[in-house]
Each structure stands twice: as C-alpha cells, then as structure tokens.
C-alpha cells in the first residue's frame, strides 16, 4: 500500500500542484499569480484595508502590542495558497516546501540584520504522529540552508497538543495556547520563529512570549502566508 502511494505521488509530483500542467512543484504561471500580501501591518503583517497609508499598524497592534517585534508573511492565505499549503502539510508533498521556503527566503533576503537562529513552531506529539512530520521544521531546515542561518528544533518546546484552533475566535485561541510553550538550551538575542501560515497570531504570540521570557530580545515571525481577517475561522494558527 505504501509503495502504491509513493508511486502515485511520483506521478502527481511531475505535474504542477495547482493547475496540473506538466512540470514540477508549481509552474511559473501559477507562481506568478499567487496572491501577495502587499499592504501589511508593519508589526503583525495583517493585510490592511485598501486605502490605509503604508507603514501603519493595524488597530489590534495599536491596542495590544504583540510579543513578537515583526512578522514577515509574503503571501495571502487564500486560494490557491491554501491549496498549496494543504498539499504540503496533509499530503506530504514535500517539494512544495521548497517553493514555500524560497518565497519566504526571497521576502527576507534583503533584510539588514538577520536573526541568529531559526526556530520552527513545534508541533504537539499527537499532530506529529498523525502527519509524520512538522511542516514548520521542514520549512526551517530549507530556509536555514538557503540563508546560512543555523536552526534548532529543540529550543522551543510544545508541552502538549492543544485543541485545534480552527473555527475558534481569537480570545479563545489565546487561552487555548497559553503556557504550552517553554524554552530549553541557549538562545541568542535575535530569533526568527518559522511557521507555514499565521492566522490570528495567537500561537505565534504565545511562542514569542516564551522566547522573550527565556531572554530573547527580538523575535521575528516568518510565515509563508498571513490569513486575512475575514478568513480567520478557516485557519488553525
Ligand atoms: Zn500551474
Ligand atoms: Zn498588526
């Protein structure tokens, strides 16, 4: 059975994951039409309403500054990015991870002061068993190689699986993840936390809080895509 699936995957992998044209991963046409997060909040990368002046903070960040200092999220989590992420995460199309890591790497490549360590948002033990891999660690490993920044998967620890965040309003998501992260081992002053998608920011905020409690001064969150507010009920972060 396993071999049959791997054969099936090899056939699928020779087509664009989005339009099924012959090729590999994502074809150039599909890549050029991925929705870009062009006018984000400078702190949390939430897409701002059209007409908002550039370099502004969203209302949430003004009212309750989050624990992270900055979020980089080059794509919007809507069609067809949601499809690409789902194929990577739930169907283990790992080569899509390279497309996602490249997209993220291009978005941070020109940055002046790069973080000294990349840390994936850890998966709970049960999620890890179900999926067989942590998608955030997979992206982190590839980014680390591309940007020549070390990564560590054992410094930020998730104590337990949390109830799925999907469909929960933000205050409940915050309660759901409160206290689940802890840190171990030495951490540098400047760290980037890596995830595939940032939804409300509750998980990233709590993980950043743990990193800061452990002495990290600056925490950036690097996510491939940010979920617009009107789609928060569909995402899981
Ligand atoms: Zn395509
Ligand atoms: Zn914001």
What's the confidence (pLDDT) of residue 237? 58
**Distance from the alpha carbon of residue 32 to the mean position of ligand 1, in angstroms:** 9
**Distance from the alpha carbon of residue 8 to the mean position of ligand 1, in angstroms:** 19
- Whether residues 70 and 20 share a domain: the answer is no
Peptide bond preceding 80: is omega within 30 degrees of 0, i.e. cis? yes
Domain count for the chain, please give it.
2
The total of other beta-carbon atoms located within 10 Å of residue 121's CB is 25
Instruction: Cite the beta strand spans of 90-161 per DSSP E.
Output: 117-120, 156-158
- Whether residues 158 and 170 share a domain: the answer is yes
Can you give the pLDDT of all 237 residues of the chain as single tens digits?
445 555 555 555 678 999 988 877 899 999 999 999 999 999 999 999 888 887 899 999 999 999 999 999 999 999 999 999 999 988 888 889 999 999 999 999 888 899 999 999 998 888 888 888 899 999 999 999 999 999 999 999 998 766 666 667 777 777 778 888 999 999 999 999 999 999 999 999 999 999 999 999 999 999 999 999 888 876 665
What's the confidence (pLDDT) of residue 59? 92
- Whether residues 50 and 111 share a domain: the answer is yes
Which tokens sit at 179? Answer: 């206290």
What's the confidence (pLDDT) of residue 212? 98
* Polymer length in residues for the chain: 237
- Whether residues 22 and 46 share a domain: the answer is no
- Whether residues 13 and 90 share a domain: the answer is no
**Distance from the alpha carbon of residue 15 to the mean position of ligand 1, in angstroms:** 8
- Whether residues 24 and 82 share a domain: the answer is no
Q: Nearest ligand, CA of residue 59? A: 2
Q: Nearest ligand, CA of residue 21? A: 1
According to DSSP, the β-strands at 75-76 and 190-198 are unpaired
Nearest to 60 by CA among 72, 48, 50: 48
Query: Which own/partner pairs from 137-143 qualify as long-range (CB within 8 Å, at least 24 positions apart)?
Result: 138/94, 138/97, 139/97, 139/100, 139/101, 139/104, 139/194, 139/195, 139/196, 139/224, 140/194, 142/97, 142/98, 142/101, 143/101, 143/104, 143/105, 143/118, 143/194, 143/222
What's the confidence (pLDDT) of residue 14? 77
What's the confidence (pLDDT) of residue 13? 64
- Whether residues 210 and 133 share a domain: the answer is yes
Q: Report the predicted TM-score, pTM, of the whole model to 2 decimal places.
A: 0.90
- d(CA 10, CA 210) in angstroms, rounded, equals 40
- Whether residues 80 and 197 share a domain: the answer is yes
Residue with tokens 């996602």: 100
What's the confidence (pLDDT) of residue 48? 92
- Whether residues 15 and 100 share a domain: the answer is no
What's the confidence (pLDDT) of residue 1? 43
Q: Are 49 and 65 in contact (CB under 8 A)?
A: no
Q: Nearest ligand, CA of residue 46? A: 2
**Distance from the alpha carbon of residue 87 to the mean position of ligand 1, in angstroms:** 14
**Distance from the alpha carbon of residue 11 to the mean position of ligand 2, in angstroms:** 42
What's the confidence (pLDDT) of residue 235? 60
- Whether residues 26 and 11 share a domain: the answer is yes
Q: What is the CATH number of the domain that holds 183?
A: 3.40.50
Instruction: Find the domain containing 12 and state its range.
Output: 1-33
- Whether residues 60 and 20 share a domain: the answer is no
What's the confidence (pLDDT) of residue 6? 55
Angle subtended at Cα 150 by Cα 148 and Cα 28, rounded to the nearest 5 degrees:
50
- Whether residues 114 and 10 share a domain: the answer is no
Angle between helix axes 81-90 and 95-108 (nearest 10 degrees) is: 130
């Amino acid at each position: 059975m396993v071999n049959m699936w791997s054969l099936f995957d090899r056939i699928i992998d020779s087509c664009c994951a989005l339009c099924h044209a012959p090729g590999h991963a994502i074809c150039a046409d599909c890549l050029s039409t991925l929705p870009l997060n062009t006018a984000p909040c400078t702190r949390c990368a939430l897409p701002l309403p059209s007409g908002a002046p550039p370099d502004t903070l969203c209302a949430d960040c003004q009212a309750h500054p989050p624990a992270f200092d900055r979020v980089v999220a080059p794509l919007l989590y809507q069609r067809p990015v949601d499809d690409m992420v789902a194929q990577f995460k739930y169907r283990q199309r790992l080569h899509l991870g390279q497309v996602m890591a490249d997209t993220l790497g291009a978005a941070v490549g020109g940055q002046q002061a790069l973080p000294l360590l990349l840390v994936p948002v850890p998966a709970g033990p049960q999620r890890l068993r179900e999926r067989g891999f942590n998608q955030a660690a997979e992206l982190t490993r590839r980014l680390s190689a591309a940007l020549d920044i070390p990564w560590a998967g054992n410094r930020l620890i998730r104590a337990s699986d949390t109830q799925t965040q999907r469909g929960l309003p933000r205050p409940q998501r915050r309660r759901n993840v409160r206290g689940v992260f802890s840190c171990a081992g030495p951490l540098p002053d400047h760290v980037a936390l890596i995830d595939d998608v940032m939804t409300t920011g509750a998980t990233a905020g709590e993980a950043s809080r743990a990193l800061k409690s452990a002495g990290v001064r600056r925490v950036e969150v690097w996510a491939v895509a940010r979920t617009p507010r009107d789609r928060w009920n569909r995402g899981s972060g």
